[in-house]
Amino acid sequence: MAEVLVYVDHVDGAVRKPTLELLTLARRIGSPVAVALGAGAADTAAVLGEHGAVKVLTHDASEYADYLVVPKVDALQAAVESVSPAAVLVPSSAEGKEIAARLALRIGSGIITDAIDIEAGDEGPVATQSVFAASFTTKSRVSKGIPVITVKPNSAAVEAAPADAAVEALAVSFSAQATGTKVTGRTPRESTGRPELTEAAIVVSGGRGVNGAENFAIIEALADSLGAAVGASRAAVDAGWYPHTNQVGQTGKSVSPQLYIASGISGAIQHRAGMQTSKTIVAINKDAEAPIFDLVDYGVVGDLFDVVPSLTEEIKTR
């Protein structure tokens, strides 16, 4: 069976969920071979093996932490050259997409970004994308070179598929560009204790209807009762009520959770662009004619200041 390279997103050996989702998709089109780089790379092998990786290629060097993405592209290119895979899958994070784009250019391949599904096809993997603010779903395949595909978080279930992952050291020689841009400092964001917005299984978002930064506390309370991330519409962000890092939409983040709850959000096309692929959508809006109700699975016509706290209380009792 053809091998499929999976780029591993991890923090000091702790593998992030989108990588495990990639392993589910990789197993549909071949045998997953994971590529883990940097500090803790070898520590990823156990969990990757539990989710179907047959091999883990590892390489650790200070360059991965000290410089921007080029050392990682060098390493992934070395892995492509040693394995000749049927495809390369990379998580659709900002960094993942940059790595994938640079890799595709290096190896002369076509690239598909932000796939929401991948299946095997007669002429190579077929990727599904949601395009034009989620108005259309397209299926496409790369017709040149080894397909490089980035996949949005929450596009596939994490599945246990125990395999004996052999750990092998990857031989990497860094290019002249690898050390071109040095990282001079990192400022960790203050932790809210909530899941990362793009990876969360549940997102609770607030919009202009929340009517003030202080009122976002009720959105946060609902999010916390569900173990969810908090999102915001651009109107709420532009008003300074919530940080831009939490903005969902065309000029914010794109999310695809199992459950998306929109409160006081009208459903403008630019907001939909970032959340329309959510599996179940619930809206709370006092205007029964709000466009958001055209795309919801469940809608509540009501004042969010009544509905959201009642919902939070009800969830807490369960």
Name the site residues for ligand FAD (rule: CB under 6 A).
207-209, 233-236, 247-252, 264-266, 268, 270-271, 274, 284-287, 290, 303-305
Residue that has been written with the tokens 């993405």 in this structure: 69
Helix (H) or strand (E) holding 65: helix 63-66
C-alpha–C-alpha distance, residues 248 and 133, integer Å: 12
β-bridge mates for residue 128, sequence order:
117, 139
By beta-carbon proximity to ligand FAD, the closer residue of 34 and 230 is 230
Q: Toward ligand FAD, which CB reaches closer, 12 or 287?
A: 287
Least CB distance from residue 264 to ligand FAD, whole Å? Answer: 4
CA Rg value for the chain: 21
Angle between helices 70-83 and 94-107 (to 10 degrees): 50
DSSP string, 172-211: ----GGGGSSB-----PPPP-SSPPTTT-SEEEEE-GGG-
* 281 among annotated binding-site residues: no
Q: Do the annotations mark residue 263 as ligand-binding?
A: no
* Shorter beta-carbon distance to ligand FAD: residue 146 or 300: 300
User: Cβ 145 to ligand FAD, closest distance in Å?
Assistant: 33
Is 250 annotated in a binding site? The answer is: yes
Least separation in angstroms between residue 308's CB and ligand FAD is: 8
Q: Positive or negative, the Cα torsion across 82, 87, 93, 94?
A: positive
| CB of 109 or CB of 130, closer to ligand FAD | 130
Question: Is 269 assigned to a binding site?
Answer: yes
C-beta closer to ligand FAD: residue 54 or 304:
304
Min separation Cβ 299 and ligand FAD, Å? 11
Q: Is 249 annotated as a binding residue?
A: yes
Extract long-range pairs of 58-63: CB within 8 Å, 24+ residues apart: 58/167, 58/168, 58/169, 58/170, 59/169, 59/170, 59/171, 59/172, 61/172, 61/174, 63/174, 63/178, 63/179
Q: Is 248 annotated as a binding residue?
A: yes
Answer yes or no: are the C-beta atoms of 4 and 85 closer than 8 Å. Answer: yes
| 234 annotated ligand binder | yes
Smaller CB distance to ligand FAD: residue 85 or 274?
Answer: 274
C-alpha 167/C-alpha 84 separation (Å) is 18
- Would you say 110 is a known binding-site residue? no
The minimum distance between CB 278 and ligand FAD, in angstroms, equals: 14
Residue 182: partners with Cβ closer than 8 Å, 6 or more residues away: 66, 67
Question: What minimum distance in Å lies between the beta carbon of 21 and ligand FAD?
Answer: 24
Binding-site residues from annotation for FAD: 208, 233-234, 247-251, 264-271, 285
Annotated binding site: 208, 233-234, 247-251, 264-271, 285
